[in-house]
A and B are shown apart, each in its own frame.
Chain A
Amino acid sequence: MAVSDNHRTEAPTRRGVHERLGVLPPAGEPVPFDPRRTLPLRIEFIRQLKRRRTQLVALVLLLLPILVAIAFKVGGQQTSGGAALVDIATTGATNFALFTEFAAIGFLLVVIVALFCGDTVASEASWSSLRYLLAVPVPRSRLLRQKLVVSLTLSFGANLLLPLWGYVVGGLFFGWAPARSPLGGSFTTSEAVTRLVIVVGYACVQSLVVAGLAFLLGVMTDAPLGAVGGAVLLVVVSNILDSISALDPYRRYLPTHYQYSWLDALGPTVVWDDMLRGIGLSLVYAAVFLGAAWVRFQRKDITS
């Protein structure tokens, strides 16, 4: 246990850090450590919120309803023949919010959810910071759990932000008239709020499928683009297969088949049938994907 006795004691050392180390107390008792308190949610939120892509997504979501409202103002009301929600989009704030939700849910919100959930683990791998987090040590299961919670919070936040902001923009542009149902009749304010909550809640549950797959792909590959692209590809393929009526009894099991079932909440009474089916299907897919992600991550050799 001897320092090699050589001629290096006169080495040029400008900053004298080693002097500081010389007056350090020796290593004492090991500090108590609780792996269950690692990677608090607050820390993970700070790490994700300051990213440029989070700010860009927020910007896109804020701009979209404004652009749509301007388009309606400039282009005029569309004549009937399209989707029922388009015809009444400019009658008031709530209808405008419902229309932007209808237009965005098929693709834009899918991309956003895939972005948040697929990129979170894969980007840590690409920055090489994943191995340092795991060496803290943050247990693997806890790392996934915290990251998933933060990603889902951001995804659901985006899901919530769009209709809320659409409501505000719709009100500013088209007035605050009470909500009209596309099947005729209108809602009181409290009814309209309840229906909007149901719609947003259902959209959040539906996005769990994309979130689960993107998370799994993010764990499996180290490329953020692969994770996001793969999840979006699944949704596109599922939509294509869903439009082929020859597949009929089996179409019900496609992950995006009940994507628009929240339209059933806009009638005079809420019809829960298809929404219940959609929730069940999403839960099954999400459970399978996330379970696979957990198992994969526990066994994986981290080489990034």
Chain B
Amino acid sequence: MKLPRLRRPRRRRTVVALVVAGAIVLALAVLVVVTRPAGVHTVSRFVAGTPESDGRPVQLDTTLYLPASAPAPAILLAHGFGGDKTDLDTQARDLARAGYVVLTYSARGFGKSGGLVHLDAPAFEVADGSKLVDYLATQVSVRKDSDGDPRIGVAGSSYGGGLALLLAGTDHRIDAVGADITWNSLQRALFPNGAATGPGVFKKLWAGYLFQAAHGSGPTDPSCGRFAPDVCAAYQRAAQSGTPDAAMSTLLRASSPESILASITAPTLLIQGEQDSLFPLTEADANARGIAAHGTPVKVIWRSGGHDGRSQTDDVRLAFQSWFDARLRAKGSESSPFQFAVRGAGLSAASGRTISQTRQVDAGYPGIDGRPTLTETVTIQGRPQQISAPAGGNPAAVSVLPQLGDALDAAQGAGASNPFQSISSLSGQVARFASDPLPDRMLVAGASTVRLVVTAQTTTDAILFISLHDLGSDTDVLPSGLVTPVRLTGLVAGAPREVTLTLPSVVRLIAAGHRLVLTVATTDLAYRLPTDPRTYTVALAGGGTEALTVATVDAHTVRPGRPLAWLITGVVAVLLVMAGVAWWARRRRRASKRDPELAEVPIAIQDLGKEYGDGYRAVDGVTFRVERGQVVGLLGPNGAGKTTILRMLVGLITPTRGQIHVFGQPIQPGAAVLSRIGAFIEGPGFLPHLSGRENLRLFWEASGRPLDDADFETALQIAGLGASIDRKVKTYSHGMKQRLAIAQAMLGLPELLVLDEPTNGLDPPQIAEMREVLQRYALTGRTVMISSHLLAEVEQTCTHVVVMHKGALIAAGSVHDIAGNGRMQLAVPDPARAAQVLAGAGITAQTVPARRALEDVFLDLVAGE
């Protein structure tokens, strides 16, 4: 009889629903990504700039980036030396997407713009900047503060940063300034002097490189390129003589922010690179002091990278963006006024490499607005040392080379020996004064100072290069590769002169146990060196020891976020889940409906049913009872539901309908009454890596009951494995495992024994033995329930029978009743003669072969062996 499928299988429906939902979500995500607003709209034009000194007009190549919404504040971006407006394309697009009108342009003398390079001279480049502000004031998309005064910020790196500061000092329509890695005094940057007594040593490699970078093909002579003639002439004079003359000094001063710092009223963001030998941190320091002295808000960021190192342009753009958001749009919160990066202070969790950490000082930049600068004192020692400068300035020590700083720096790794050691520190040219190992780690942030006594043996001036080294047990690191040149003039040959020198401004975390080493050298490849051979004597001002004043900063690490919230969430989640599971489990446990009337009935099954998700009914409304001392056979063809009933009997499967009571207790998974049942269901289950004896013992001990209750002797005899009991179960045959499993079911001699096809795989003597065991078992008042589809077996072994077919109960009762009337048999030794006798008496008789003759014969044969 075929059951009609009334509805679709439940399981398949959920799967289909999930797939459709997933597809919809995926389609939505793709749609959102694809229809994101497209790129920014750009307008490229030429804007008229300031004409050249000979009257020739100059056109500046500009590009305007328009955001989605108007009107918006404007940002003027200026590029670095030797580049043009295309360098700023990515930055401009990102800022435009953030909602600004961005104007990028190629400065005069670069890219497609006309004119000559005047090095940010006020009359030319800065005037161009003002003209561009006028241009922006005419744009409709730019927000205006008043007529002709747009809301505008200026930002740039290096050359562009200088322009930003100079423009802010001259044109007061500028509302906010961002200057990255730029200078304060071009003369001090190109002719640095650690003794602060006039112009110092010419930074020849950087100056020459910069001169070359702007060289382009120009209308004037090949040696000057696109430089204005006065700039070019000044540079060439300085390069030949090594000192700036008056004309050059005037020129450099006009092009430096130091001349107009007093008139900057727009809030300024100063970013400076820690790996920068062209414009070191001291330039930003001077800018900050000058601007803040007139009450203008200043924020300072010292970032890793700079002219010598690779920098993350994203970090600079983000800093500019948040600065302009706060100042031009009053959006977002202000972070702390001073931030700096400490290299090698953290470990990246992604790659395991050292990374830099950002620290911030909430109080603000030390040295401005009346804040004190923090210093620590470290004692260095050393006797006076003689050092010499070679003739021709050759060989010269290598500290850092323009654009190659990163490569050299990488070589000074944490643990490796420096491959450039031999050329960065040349013997005979270097005097060293070392401190004792530091007891604690120390953060050096800023420029340290020291007093030395210098004696020039044969000359009236001295050129030295001082630096601070970090000496570990097997490492010698020059932080950022920076040295400061010192130029002392007006000396008397052979007479000592005491000077206070400023060391390079660096940021470094010195580990405990490392030493600080003050190094004084006579050569450096990046600077212009004297050609005559010289000798100096260098000593510490305090005799054998001297106090080195180390600049430091009291800062805390930026640690955004609230990590404790995560931990609390985790603990709460654990507690919630535990409570939820416990509550749910308790709710599921039905109120134990003990039935005291059934306390003596081993099994009472009432209207039991099991229906699966697809509508298939394995057991359908089965009701029967089993009394004490019975051997009950559960009979039925394959698929009748016998095994399902037995699994439900021991709580492995939950019925969908009906109840099972064993000794009056309802059956649930884990019910205590199951301890009174010994089960063997659908085959043996042993741990193959343990022996049979260990399996039995561990099984019994898993029940928590004392070992004596198990009656191992009986069980082992039932199993009948002999010496094999101590071999690993994986070596057993199926029959051995079967017998052992039945013995395991009998451990502790349970009151109810449930066996599912126990004779499966046993040979006839074992089957007969099993039959006898089960019958004797029942005689002791215990109950046995066997399921089988072998009719003959059930008839022989059982006292009662329950017959099932396709999940329903067909018949239940004693074997005697069901198997029909007990037909009697008469056994005679000579059947043929008996038939004759009966025929003579008039009774028809028929000889039929005796039932089960083969089994009798076979058993006799085997028993005799």
Contact = CB atoms under 8 A, between A and B. Distances in A.
A301 to B, nearest CB: 4
A245 to B, nearest CB: 9
B259 interface: no
Interface size class of B (residues with CB under 8 A): 35 or more
Contacts of B472: 184
Nearest to B474: A91
A131 B756 CA distance: 13
A21 B773 contact: yes
21 contacts: A1-B627, A1-B628, A8-B771, A18-B773, A21-B773, A30-B676, A33-B672, A80-B415, A84-B353, A88-B415, A131-B650, A135-B677, A141-B670, A181-B511, A259-B349, A281-B570, A283-B573, A288-B577, A291-B577, A294-B581, A298-B669
Contact of A85 (B352, B630, B677): B352
Contacts of B744: 132
Interface string B617-629: 0000000000111
Interface centre among A25, A260, A284, A295 (most CB of B within 10 A): A284
B559 A276 contact: no
Nearest to A265: B347
A300 B768 CA distance: 38
A238 interface: no
Contact of B569 (A33, A133, A284): A284
Contact of B347 (A34, A129, A182, A295): A182
B416 interface: yes
Given A127-B687, A280-B566, A84 B698 contact: no
A143 to B, nearest CB: 9
Interface in A230-244: 242-243
B573 A183 contact: no
Nearest to A128: B685
Nearest to B345: A183
Interface stretch (A47-55, A158-166, A167-175, A193-201): A47-55
Contact of A129 (B571, B675, B685, B714): B685
B367 interface: no
A287 B630 contact: no
A52 B689 contact: yes
B717 interface: yes
A267 B651 CA distance: 56
Contacts of B775: 3, 18
Interface in B642-662: 647, 650-654
A184 B511 contact: yes
B33 to A, nearest CB: 11
Nearest to B782: A27
Interface size class of A (residues with CB under 8 A): 35 or more
Interface stretch (A37-45, A59-67, A68-76, A218-226): A37-45
B704 A37 contact: yes
Interface in B670-714: 670-672, 674-677, 679, 681-690, 698-699, 701-705, 709, 714
Interface centre among A50, A132, A183 (most CB of B within 10 A): A132
A176 interface: no
A267 B674 contact: no
Contacts of A31: 675, 705, 709, 748
A278 to B, nearest CB: 8
A34 to B, nearest CB: 6
A33 B718 contact: no
Closest 9 CB pairs of A and B: A83-B352, A283-B570, A139-B670, A80-B413, A280-B566, A280-B570, A128-B685, A184-B511, A37-B704
Nearest to B670: A139
A84 B354 contact: yes
A182 B348 CA distance: 11
Given A17-B717, A20-B714, A136-B675, A274 B571 contact: no
B812 to A, nearest CB: 16
Given A17-B720, A33-B675, A284-B574, 17 more contacts: A1-B627, A15-B717, A17-B772, A21-B714, A31-B748, A33-B703, A40-B704, A46-B698, A128-B684, A128-B685, A132-B699, A134-B651, A184-B511, A280-B567, A280-B571, A291-B578, A298-B585
Contacts of A109: none
B763 to A, nearest CB: 12
Contacts, number: 312
Contacts of B773: 17-18, 21
Interface string A261-295: 10110111001111011011111101110110011
Contact of A24 (B352, B686, B749): B749
A137 B674 contact: yes
Given A79-B416, A84-B414, A8 B796 contact: yes
A274 B349 contact: yes
A258 interface: yes
B816 interface: yes
A247 interface: no
Nearest to B706: A31
A224 to B, nearest CB: 13
A267 B349 contact: no
A1 B629 contact: yes
A199 to B, nearest CB: 12
Contacts of B629: 1
B354 A43 contact: no
B354 A38 contact: no
A164 B650 CA distance: 46
Given A6-B796, A185-B441, A135 B674 contact: yes
A2 B862 contact: no
Interface string A86-97: 111000000000
B769 A14 contact: yes
B777 interface: yes
B781 A27 contact: yes
A291 to B, nearest CB: 4
A151 B651 CA distance: 26
Contacts of B415: 80, 87-88
Contact of B647 (A87, A128, A295, A302): A302
A111 interface: no
A17 to B, nearest CB: 5
Given A12-B859, A31-B709, A276-B563, A43 B698 contact: yes
B267 to A, nearest CB: 29
Contacts of A242: 350
B198 interface: no
A280 B796 contact: no
Contacts of A46: 698
Nearest to B441: A268
A12 B863 contact: yes
Contact of A81 (B413, B689, B717): B413
A283 B566 CA distance: 10
A290 B577 contact: yes
Contacts of B709: 31
Contact of A47 (B441, B628, B698, B779): B698
Contacts of B512: 185, 268
A113 to B, nearest CB: 18
B687 A21 contact: no
Contacts of A86: 352
Interface string B495-508: 00000000000000
A216 B387 CA distance: 74
B671 A83 contact: no
Contacts of A272: 563
B352 A2 contact: no
Given A129-B686, A184-B414, A21 B571 contact: no
B753 to A, nearest CB: 11
B12 interface: no
Given A14-B863, A137-B674, A283-B571, A39 B513 contact: no
A102 to B, nearest CB: 6
Given A24-B780, A298-B669, A4 B815 contact: yes
B832 interface: no
Contacts of A8: 771-772, 796
